Amino acid sequence: MRSPAAVTSGRAGLVVVLSADAVRIACAERGWSLSELARRARISRPTLAAALRGQPVRARTAWKVAHALEQTPSTQLSQLLGAA
């Protein structure tokens, strides 16, 4: 897994960059599509797609993804954050 080094402060406040590989692996382990993850996280599919392209997302959005993956959010977030 990548290191959790991609937490920055942007115009929208605290933002994070998710590791696309970690998100895809977590979905594959659960047998979910990315659309299913977006539905469970209650975020839009375009928001998830943008995050997986490396665009920063708000911390709350990253938390929703982690929570949807049914892990302890702080643990899962450390795995989902991409390297700077």
The number of domains in the chain is 1
Cα dist from 69 to 9, 14, 22, whole Å: 25, 21, 11
**What domain range includes position 25?**
7-80
- Packing angle between helix 73-80 and helix 20-30, nearest 10 degrees? 120
5 three-class SS = coil
The answer as to whether 2 is a domain residue is no
The answer as to whether 1 is a domain residue is no
Residues 65 and 43: their CA atoms lie apart, in Å, by 8
CATH number of the domain residue 42 falls in:
1.10.260.40
The answer as to whether 53 is a domain residue is yes
Residues 63 and 44: their CA atoms lie apart, in Å, by 14
Give the pLDDT confidence of 28-76 residue by residue, as tens digits. Answer: 989 999 999 999 999 999 999 999 999 999 989 999 998 898 765 555 5
pLDDT top residue among 65 and 12: 65
How many other CB atoms are there within 10 angstroms of residue 12's CB atom? 10
- The pTM for the full model equals 0.73
